Amino acid sequence: MSLLHAEKLTKTYRSGDIEVAALKGVDFSIEPAAFVAFVGPSGSGKSTLLNLIGCLDHPTSGTLKVLDTDIATLDRRAAAHFRGAHIGFVFQDFNLIPVLTVFENVEYPLRMVQRWPAAKRRDQVLRLLDAVGMADQAHKRPDQISGGQKQRVAVARALVSDPKLVLADEPTANLDSETAHRVLELMKKMRDEFRTTFVFSTHDARIMGEAETIFTLEDGRLLPAAHKEAAHV
């Protein structure tokens, strides 16, 4: 069973009397434990597609199933619950909460959405911080760590609820080449360890070089996918 499956997916925005077709009949499937990039110029529909996959918006027509759930059937409350249970997010600007420590930032999704017991939360957060090499920085706040460390914390936060899917929107854009490479290697390690699917929206050639499948969007339409030989089992 595909983790993500889209058929004839469209999204149209209206501004007054003007309609803008952001996605035009998009079809794709993504399997579990994949490392996939959606690429294309600004305005091609990448962000719109990530918003749909992340249950932040509804399609205008067509079908998009995430973990065999048709996202068009989810109301606002159900979509929030679905995101909290199954989807993690990594952002270009890290989006860490400045007044919280590294530990508290990673713990935040469990407190706000999952509402795990305190002991279980602590064990899970420490496990993820150790996995991304940030356990010794747990007491620091975001302004006390580097950009690469912030993105490692963001990866841990995205994985803390054991999601099946992580959506990463330009996650290396604010990182230098060496740090970006390390973060991508970390994400691949997390994919291999946790069997999580990573889906990127990016302009970054570094991510394209690491992705096993590349989907190219142009003017809201999806070009044939480029596949590489899988690097994991």
Higher pLDDT, residue 174 or 1 = 174
Contact 11, 66 (CB under 8 A): no
pLDDT in tens, 1-38: 789 999 999 999 988 888 899 999 999 999 999 999 99
Distance (Å, whole) CA 77 – CA 179: 37
Domain extent listing, the chain: 4-227
Instruction: Compute φ and ψ for 89, nearest 5 degrees.
Output: -130, 140
User: How many CB atoms lie under 10 A from the CB of residue 7?
Assistant: 13
81: phi then psi, degrees, rounded to nearest 5: -65, -40
Furthest-apart CA pair in the chain: how many Å? 55
Residue 231: pLDDT band with limits 50, 70, 90: very low
What pLDDT digit, counting tens, does each position of 66-114 carry? 999 999 999 999 999 899 889 999 988 899 999 999 999 999 999 877 6
Q: What is the pLDDT of residue 232?
A: 41
Place of tokens 């091609």: 44
- The structure tokens listed for 68 are 């065999």
Q: Which CATH number fits domain 4-227: 3.30.300.30, 3.40.50.300, 2.170.150.70, 3.30.460.80?
A: 3.40.50.300
Q: What is the pLDDT of residues 92-105, one digit of tens each?
A: 889 999 999 999 99
Helix spans in the chain (H)? 46-53, 76-86, 102-109, 118-131, 147-159, 177-194, 205-210
Please state the rounded mean pLDDT for residues 148-176: 91
What tens digit of pLDDT does each residue of 191-225 get?
Answer: 998 899 999 999 888 899 999 999 999 999 998 77
> What is the per-residue DSSP string for 6-35?
EEEEEEEEEETTEEEEEEEEEEEEE-TT-E
Write down the pLDDT at residue 154.
Answer: 94
CB-CB neighbours of 74 under 10 Å: 17
Residues 6+ apart with CB under 8 A from 229: 212
